[in-house]
């Protein structure tokens, strides 16, 4: 049991539906996650796939407690975190970090890269911050001089590397990567994915990779959750899921992957 990082039971999250809020009284709630239960083993690279509105980002955000679940239990390394408030969570925060989808929005435009990476280290009371910042930059393949730059002076791929550096600088046990390559062009995508693959190998990270792109997931992940309408319709190791998809929804997703067609001719 000690090799589990997450043990989640009957996780429920709902949001108020403000478009149907009556003039008086509370808005009706939309159930986004309808009672999910699963385990995540240490060292797993977990892929969370599903269509728009399937709840995959919500699941990720609930796991690192950016959201407060309505009910259910989230055991993180043996600690119940589902009901903790922000003050109680603060000391645990260094153990689960997140890389965001849009690096332009997730990097404070008024801070230099060095300050962005140092911020969480300072908040979590680390020492030797400058050397940790340099080390994190080096791990994501950025030169030291980048720490003097502002985010808008970087390319999309470089910005996403800064986002990764900020997360790994804390040496967390778990990282949530929410659609982190969907805003990048294809070559930057490949570079960022290579980097992530390498970091997973070197640091022994447990990673949850949220994406709608199964071909990206297939390359990176060891286990896949397929979400549909707030429920896990399939939970299987990657090879098994691709060879022998059990649910009809998974098959539909697999069929939607564009495969290169060697017969294509440009005329």
Partner 1 sequence: MRDARGQVRRMPGLRLWLSGSWLLILILAAVFAPMISPHDPLEQDLFAARLPPFWQQGADPAFLLGTDSLGRDLLSRMLYGARLALTVALVAGTLTCLVGATLGLIAGYYRGWADLVISRLVDIWMAFPPVLFAILLIAVLGTGLTSIIVAIVVIDWTRFSRVVRAEAMSQGAMDYVASAQVAGRSRLGIALAEILPNVLPTIVALLTLEMGIAVIVEAILSFVNLSISTDQPTWGGMIAEGRTSIYQAWWVLVFPLAALFLTVLSFSQLGEGLKDYFDPVLR
Closer to partner 1 by Cβ: residue 99 or 253: 99
- Using CB under 8 A, pick the residue from 93, 132, 212, 219 that binds partner 1: 93
Of positions 9, 30, 39, 124, contacts partner 1 by CB under 8 A: 124
Residue 228 in tokens: 């549909």
Is 191:198 a contact under the CB 8 Å cutoff?
A: no
Q: Which helix (H) or strand (E) holds 8?
A: strand 4-16
- Does position 153 interact with partner 1 (CB under 8 A)? The reply is yes
Report in angstroms how near the CB of residue 245 gets to partner 1 at its nearest: 33
CA 224, distance to chain mean position in Å, is: 13
C-beta of residue 70 within 8 angstroms of C-beta of residue 48: no
Q: Could you say whether residue 81 binds partner 1 (CB under 8 A)? A: no
Piece in contact with partner 1 (CB under 8 A), picked from 19-27, 33-41, 91-99, 253-261: 91-99
Q: Quick one: CA dihedral 47, 219, 165, 113, positive or negative?
A: negative
What is the rounded CA–CA span in Å between residue 60 and residue 209?
A: 9
CA–CA dist 136, 146 (Å, integer): 12
Interface residue with partner 1 among 102, 173, 197, 231 (CB under 8 A) is: 102
Task: Specify the residue, 42 or 61, whose C-beta has the smaller distance to partner 1.
Answer: 61
Query: Residue 110 Cβ, how far from partner 1 at the closest point, in Å?
Result: 5
User: Could you tell me the strand order of the sheet in which 45-50 lies?
Assistant: 96-99, 174-178, 206-210, 45-50, 223-228, 231-237
Residue 105 lies near partner 1 (rule: CB under 8 A): yes
The least distance separating partner 1 from the CB of residue 58, rounded to whole angstroms, comes to: 13
- Binding-site ranges for partner 1 (CB under 8 A): 64, 66, 86-87, 89-91, 93-94, 96-98, 100-102, 105-110, 119-120, 123-124, 149-150, 152-153, 166, 170
């Amino acid at each position: 049991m000690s090799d589990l990082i997450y043990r989640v039971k009957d996780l429920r999250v709902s949001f108020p539906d403000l478009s149907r809020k009556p003039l008086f009284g509370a808005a009706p709630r939309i159930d986004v996650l309808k009672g999910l239960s699963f385990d995540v083993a240490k060292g797993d690279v977990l892929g969370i796939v599903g269509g728009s509105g399937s709840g995959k980002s919500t699941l990720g955000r609930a796991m690192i407690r950016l959201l407060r679940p309505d009910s259910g239990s989230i055991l993180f390394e043996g600690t119940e975190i589902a009901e903790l408030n922000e003050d109680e969570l603060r000391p645990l925060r260094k153990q689960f970090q997140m890389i965001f989808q849009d690096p332009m929005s997730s990097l404070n435009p008024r801070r230099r890269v060095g300050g962005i990476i140092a911020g969480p280290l300072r908040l979590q009371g680390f020492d030797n911050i400058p050397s940790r910042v340099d080390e994190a930059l080096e791990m994501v393949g950025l030169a030291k001089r980048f720490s003097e730059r502002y985010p808008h002076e970087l390319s999309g791929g470089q910005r996403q590397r800064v986002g990764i550096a900020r997360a790994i600088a804390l040496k967390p046990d778990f990282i949530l990567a929410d659609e982190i390559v969907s805003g990048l062009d294809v070559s930057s995508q490949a570079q960022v994915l290579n980097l992530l693959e390498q970091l997973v190998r070197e640091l022994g990270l447990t990673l949850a990779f949220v994406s709608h792109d199964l071909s990206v997931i297939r390359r990176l992940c060891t286990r896949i959750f397929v979400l549909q309408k707030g429920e896990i319709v399939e939970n299987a190791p990657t090879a098994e899921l691709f060879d022998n998809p059990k649910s009809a929804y998974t098959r539909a997703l697999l069929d939607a992957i564009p495969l290169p067609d060697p017969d294509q001719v440009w005329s």
